[in-house]
Structure 1
Amino acid sequence: MAEDASFPGQPTAALLRDLFETVTPPPLSFELFPPRSEAGHDVLRETVGRLAPVASDGFSVTMGAGGTARSGTMETVQEIAQTTGKPVTAHLTAIGHDRATVMNIADALWNSGITRVLALRGDMPRDELQPAEPSFEHASDLVAALRDRHDFEISVAAYPEKHPEAEDLDDDIDHLKEKLDAGASSAICQFVLNPESYARFLERCGQHGIDAPIVPGIMPLDDWPRVRNFALRTGASVPGWLDRLLTERDGEGPVTPLLAAAATLEQTRRLIAYGAPALHIYTLNHWHLPLALARLMGAGQDAAAAGA
């Protein structure tokens, strides 16, 4: 059988897999965004097809700032669910819609068989226009309304280094607890570039009485300038050593992707060691490094063996 060119050879993979201190890979989910063009749609379809065999916990699909691209989110969620048979989580934001519209979206999701929702307050629209009628002021209000509406499996956002608008980390964790108490069953973290931040966050959450699963977000580091910009905009700290490692220097460009893959793999290993119950991988609609990470953790081996 020809070796898959998208993945390291078996001897290399076996050596790298020894970095993980687990026999069974953790549940893996992959975040996608709705395509904005036909070419983007083609890219998304290939990414979904490549990742579906290793997406043990399915996919999630984002909604734009202020609730933009709502129809694109719905169409993308339904297509992925139908083509893969995997569970799909739809992001649902409060800002940008009035209450009736949010509930209509929730009904449409439920009626189409989508039972997983990531309930978010959402980012403010860039033009700062507000809907004619008030929506949900806080994500906890949205969670409570969704819980009353349907028997959704609701997850919420968590910020290991605090939300930019929070007074401090303890204040932010109190808000997380409010969302969980309102009816959410788990939280998905904003990505961190320093795994120790996630470990400290778990400990602080335990001190606040939170025992729900808190899933760390992994941002593959193969597009470092873009990832670095995301981190600076969201308040995630950028370790100096990582920035130096992945900032290209003259004549060293070809080495950077290898360094990015190694650094992402090490971050993943450390998050698992710190007790991550699952991993949520932000793909930016690219499949190469997310698939490599999943394979190195042993994901999809049972399915491959069954099909052999």
Structure 2
Amino acid sequence: MTDQPTHALLKDLFEDTPNLPLGFEIFPPRTPAARAALRDTVMHLAAAAPDHFSVTMGAGGTIRTGTHETSVEVMRATGTPVIAHLTALGLSRAEIDETADAFWAEGIHGILALRGDAPQDPAAAARPVSYPHATGLVAALRARHDFHITVAAYPEKHPEAGTLEEDVDHLKEKLDAGASAAICQFVLNPEVYGRFLDLCAARGITAPIVPGVMPLDDWSRVRKFAVRTGATVPPWLDRFFAHMDAAPELAPLLGTAATLEHLRRLVAYGAPALHVYTLNRWAVPLALARAIGRPCDGLADLPRPAPPQAG
């Protein structure tokens, strides 16, 4: 594998992306105002005809009801399939079964099965552990309903894993237990994703490994999150955004340009699909969808900025 894809390769691959599967991740709103804003975001993003929306669940199974309600609302409003997150830690096996049954009954047949982070609430943290690893959760879901199960992958390894190789072996266990695809924790260096694909292939993994794409329009926030999760921060991104504070009005343009270049490289390294973390905002994710050739029907009806006034 080359260290850097050539410009010609990027151009050639990028021109063939209109049919590349695309998913948008959102999180359940906590207030009526946030719910109205999310509804607006979802309807804008639906113009790009995504293959799915995914709806998160908080640590320890928190906002579990919100995950269910949001998943159903989004699916009904857009007609788009939904992948609902389901975490093991903090929930009993009975609660997991109940949640899975409720998803299935509403037509939510895609699940992102996660072990999840330990719950912050002391009472929830003291509860017996239902499944210590996502592998057990995957097997339980597979036995209960014919879900399309996705799991998490970590191109720079899970913080609790000893080595990246051990983490890849654990990913294979989850896939062997009944999952059919994996979505990656976001990376800022596409070469890391490319090397991870090679390592997965060497371990006999053939399931799609989909990269998570984080819009870079709020670089300070994204950088802090990357450092906290152990994601490598390429120096070129720091240089690219170094003078943004002097011209904050350029932040959305610079962020979109950087995200698009990042996306191009992920495609060049073999991304089988794209999973965009929207943070419940639509502008940059929709611009990315349009840039990769999605028709984005209805864009002509979206609000446009007023023309500058003369004088």
TM superposition score normalised by structure 2: 0.89
Over 3 Å counting, the alpha-carbon distance change for 1:136 and 1:19 in structure 2 is closer
> What CA distance in whole angstroms lies between the structure 1 residues aligned with 2:195 and 2:276?
20
User: Could you tell me which residue of structure 2 aligns to residue 75 of structure 1?
Assistant: 69
The residue correspondences of 1:241-256 to structure 2 (distance < 5 A) are 241-249=236-244, 251-256=246-251
Q: Is the 8 A contact 2:181 2:208 kept in 1?
A: yes
User: Could you tell me which residue of structure 1 aligns to residue 44 of structure 2?
Assistant: 50
1:135 to 130, 133, 158: 130
Q: Is the 8 A contact 2:215 2:278 kept in 1?
A: yes
Query: What letter matches 2:154 in structure 1?
Result: Y
User: Could you tell me which residue of structure 1 aligns to residue 57 of structure 2?
Assistant: 63
Shift of 1:68: 0.6
Shift of 1:294: 0.2
2:155 to 138, 160, 163: 160
Shift of 1:292: 0.3
User: Could you tell me which residue of structure 2 aligns to residue 8 of structure 1?
Assistant: none
2:14 to 15, 20, 29: 20
1:202-247 CA-to-partner distances (Å, cap 9, x unmatched) read 0000000000001000000011111112111211111122123224
1:264-307 CA-to-partner distances (Å, cap 9, x unmatched) read 00011111111111100000000000000001111136x569xx
User: Could you tell me which residue of structure 1 aligns to residue 309 of structure 2?
Assistant: none
User: Could you tell me which residue of structure 1 aligns to residue 139 of structure 2?
Assistant: 144
Shift of 1:24: 2.9
> What CA distance in whole angstroms lies between the structure 1 residues aligned with 2:32 and 2:294?
30
Is 2:83 aligned against 1:89? yes
> What CA distance in whole angstroms lies between the structure 2 residues aligned with 1:151 and 1:25?
26
1:284 to 273, 279, 282: 279
User: Could you tell me which residue of structure 2 aligns to residue 206 of structure 1?
Assistant: 201
1:68-111 CA-to-partner distances (Å, cap 9, x unmatched) read 11111100000001111100000000001111111110011111
Give ranges in structure 1 of 5+ residues lacking alignment. Answer: 1-16
> What CA distance in whole angstroms lies between the structure 2 residues aligned with 1:278 and 1:158?
14
Over 3 Å counting, the alpha-carbon distance change for 1:276 and 1:250 in structure 2 is closer
- 26-35 or 51-60: bigger deviation: 51-60
Over 3 Å counting, the alpha-carbon distance change for 1:30 and 1:44 in structure 2 is same
Give ranges in structure 2 of 5+ residues lacking alignment. Answer: 1-10, 300-311
Query: What letter matches 1:291 in structure 2?
Result: L
* 3-state SS, counterpart of residue 246 of structure 2: coil
Over 3 Å counting, the alpha-carbon distance change for 1:23 and 1:235 in structure 2 is closer
Q: What percentage of residue pairs aligned between the two structures are identical?
A: 62
1:39 to 25, 33, 46: 33
> What CA distance in whole angstroms lies between the structure 2 residues aligned with 1:250 and 1:262?
17
Query: What letter matches 1:94 in structure 2?
Result: A
Over 3 Å counting, the alpha-carbon distance change for 1:231 and 1:55 in structure 2 is farther
* 3-state SS, counterpart of residue 54 of structure 1: coil
| Alignment coverage as a number of residue pairs | 289
> What CA distance in whole angstroms lies between the structure 2 residues aligned with 1:186 and 1:239?
27
* 3-state SS, counterpart of residue 188 of structure 1: strand
Query: What letter matches 1:252 in structure 2?
Result: A
Q: Is the 8 A contact 1:30 1:59 kept in 2?
A: yes
Is 2:113 aligned against 1:119? yes
User: Could you tell me which residue of structure 2 aligns to residue 7 of structure 1?
Assistant: none
2:234 to 228, 236, 239: 239
> What CA distance in whole angstroms lies between the structure 1 residues aligned with 2:259 and 2:129?
41
1:97-129 CA-to-partner distances (Å, cap 9, x unmatched) read 111111110011111111000000001122454
